[in-house]
Structure 1
Amino acid sequence: MARPKKSAQASRRKPAKKQLRDEGLSSRLEDKHQLVILTGLSGSGKGSALKAFEDLGYYAVDNLPVELLPRFAELVSQSVELTRAVLVVDVREGQGLERFPAMLTEARKYLETTLIFLDASKPALLRRFSETRRPHPLGRESMVGPAIQAERKLLSPLRNIADILIDTSNFNVHELRAYIQNKFERESDGKNLLVSSISFGYKNGVPLEADLVFDVRFLPNPHFIPEFRNLTGRDPKVAEYVGQFPQTQEFLDRVTQMLLFLLPHYIHEGKSYLTVAFGCTGGQHRSVMIAEEIGKRLGKEGYKVKTGHRDMPR
């Protein structure tokens, strides 16, 4: 007797748990979640590199135990806000370094993971330890030279599997920072400098936090027009009045051009914040209008701008 045919739906096999897991992991690998692992010799600049990544918006962890690496990668892959992370694994891990390659393989199942090995020549490392007078993690009771040699041997397996090798022998702190930023900065984050465009009144003094100060008291003062006296530069009528003069527009254009020239250089040097201050007599009208307009112009160019008015009535 012939067996009854199974329906098409019944004949389909349910996906295996491993298949479902792999499909889920594949979808995660397609997103923008990233994990960077810094390792390398003591004195090669891991601390400076970690700070550079942190300034780029990475969540930074120093000396995470190797056994926690896969779990940490899974947490990052599932997080909505924590999309990029960087952590340091080095000789302080001790015997746990032997398990690092296996833990790295597990972490890469959850998200894109890049291993960076920072290296430096023995003379460079000796000079740095001499300058900082910090003990080597393996040489607190012995000479630095043999400790460097022993550490290099312990970290050799990690160096062999690194995705990126950075020799910092001829790098200073700023050059290493610039290298990290140029290589790992997302295109959307290229203008990660936070610019504060603020107004103030000279009668109350120049803001101490100001990096660049512009005096706009050469512009006609709305204070002497009765209908504007109790208003501020944020009022459309006042803004229109101040903006109608040719010198106002030329000033705005020239300052905007100068800032657009300066900002990329500030970013390249690793500056995270820049405060541009505009001052008039009382900090109510002209400076407020100019600070608002400059903020809008820089915002249109893709910069992150915060506008504030120190002396304007709340």
Structure 2
Amino acid sequence: MTRKSSHKVQTILLVTGLSGAGKTTVLKTLEDLGWEAVDNFPIRLAGALLDIPASGGRSNPSIPLALGFDSRTRGFKADALIRQIMQLQKRAELNIMTLFLDCSGAEIERRYTETRRRHPMALDRPAMDGIAQERMMMEPLRRWAETVVDTSKMSANELQNDIRTRFSNNANLHSTISITSFGFSRGVPHNVDLVFDLRFLRNPHWDNALRPLTGMDPEVAQYVESDPAYAEAMFKIRELLRFLLPLYDAQGKAYVNIAFGCTGGRHRSVHVAEQFGKWLRDDGFSPTVVHRNLTSRPIDALEGPANGANNKKAKRGSERK
């Protein structure tokens, strides 16, 4: 009877290539995809690294690991590294792949000139000399690698998209979405990507019965939703987000911050933020909803004059109750 191994397979991607070809961009993109990434790592120490428990106090082979190295790595010798990789590949619990980033010499030279950095192998010589020398050193690894990506004609964004397509384990990966309700009278939140001004809706603050409540209360929700402009406005905003959010995903935007503002930040914006949190979850996203001014004290002076027709009617109606 054959005994099955209880070990889970650890996926390891070795990221290497020519200096200036995009290794740092690749490793950062893999981190955004949930990989654990280590740059400038001596491959000869890979065995010891794999025996170190992951964060949380125990090994977690379900998290893929990316190890970046190039000609600057201490003790770099391509043939010796390949032999070490072959030894690691004999371990049944490891699935090791190699990604080599290639690039034309002229493009690498342009990138170093643009950033005003010296090529690591040509500190006192023309950059093309160092590029040619490094290409010779790295050629065995280029021939060895399962995947070779030529970044000569790629922008950083195009390289990120290519890596996400190749190595994302989650076909439904989305940007991290946060929804914030706030009051314009208390300032607009920082680092917001999309701001929706809800001050066109009638203000529950001027209804005496609703003033002490918030957008979390059903009475306020009913009041806000009864505004004639509410249904059509919410439909159009929802359709806009359904259009925009996949585009942000495609561009690799890690975070999308959406803010809904009203005057005081306690009624209209709170209700709408909660509503969009539910709608986006229905659409397959996982937003975090934060109410910045929910616990702020209601102040008439911050709300402005109750000079709208709807607000006057609401105020008179509440006085007759």
Give the TM interval when normalised to the shorter protein.
Answer: 0.7 to 0.9
> 1:272 maps to what in 2?
254
Between the two proteins, the alignment pairs up a number of residues equal to 290
> 1:6 maps to what in 2?
none
| Residue 64 (str. 1) matches residue 41 (str. 2) | yes
- 1:130-166 Cα distance to aligned partner (Å, 9 max, x none): 2222222222222222221221111111111211110
- 1:87-124 Cα distance to aligned partner (Å, 9 max, x none): 21211133454332233234443332221100011111
TM-fit CA distance, 1:73 = 3.9
Q: What amino acid sits opposite 2:243 in the alignment?
A: F
Q: Distance in 1 between matches of 2:80 and 2:5?
A: 26
Aligned-residue Cα RMSD (Å) equals 2.4
- Which ranges of structure 1 fall in alignment gaps of 5 or more residues? 1-11
- Structure 2 residue matching 1:279: 3-state secondary structure: strand
- Candidates 262, 267, 272, aligned match of 1:285: 267
Q: Distance in 2 between matches of 1:258 and 1:127?
A: 40
Decide whether the 8 Å contact of 1:69 with 1:103 is kept in 2: no
Decide whether the 8 Å contact of 1:76 with 1:84 is kept in 2: no
Q: Distance in 2 between matches of 1:105 and 1:236?
A: 64
Deviates more, 1:290-299 or 1:88-97: 88-97
TM-fit CA distance, 1:179 = 1.0
> 2:81 maps to what in 1?
100
Greater share of residues in helix: 1
Q: Distance in 2 between matches of 1:79 and 1:248?
A: 51
> 1:4 maps to what in 2?
none
> 1:85 maps to what in 2?
65
User: Compared with structure 1, are the counterparts of its residues 100 and 123 closer, same or farther at alpha carbon in structure 2 (3 Å cutoff)?
Assistant: same
| Residue 53 (str. 1) matches residue 30 (str. 2) | yes
Q: How does 1:1-314 map to 2 (within 5 A)?
A: 23-24=5-6, 27-29=7-9, 33-75=10-52, 79-80=59-60, 83-93=63-73, 94-108=75-89, 109=91, 110-191=93-174, 193-313=175-295
Question: In percent, how many aligned pairs have the same letter?
Answer: 38
- 1:4-57 Cα distance to aligned partner (Å, 9 max, x none): xxxxxxxx9xx8xxxx7x834xx423xxx4322110001111111111112222
TM-score (norm 1): 0.84
TM-fit CA distance, 1:237 = 2.8
User: Compared with structure 1, are the counterparts of its residues 188 and 182 closer, same or farther at alpha carbon in structure 2 (3 Å cutoff)?
Assistant: closer
Q: Distance in 1 between matches of 2:80 and 2:109?
A: 29
Q: Distance in 2 between matches of 1:171 and 1:220?
A: 50
User: Compared with structure 1, are the counterparts of its residues 53 and 137 closer, same or farther at alpha carbon in structure 2 (3 Å cutoff)?
Assistant: same
Q: Distance in 2 between matches of 1:40 and 1:235?
A: 58
TM-fit CA distance, 1:62 = 0.7
User: Compared with structure 1, are the counterparts of its residues 237 and 102 closer, same or farther at alpha carbon in structure 2 (3 Å cutoff)?
Assistant: farther
TM-score (norm 2): 0.82
Decide whether the 8 Å contact of 1:66 with 1:99 is kept in 2: no
- Which ranges of structure 2 fall in alignment gaps of 5 or more residues? 297-321
Q: Distance in 1 between matches of 2:149 and 2:204?
A: 58
Deviates more, 1:42-51 or 1:179-188: 179-188
Deviates more, 1:298-307 or 1:255-264: 298-307
TM-fit CA distance, 1:264 = 1.5
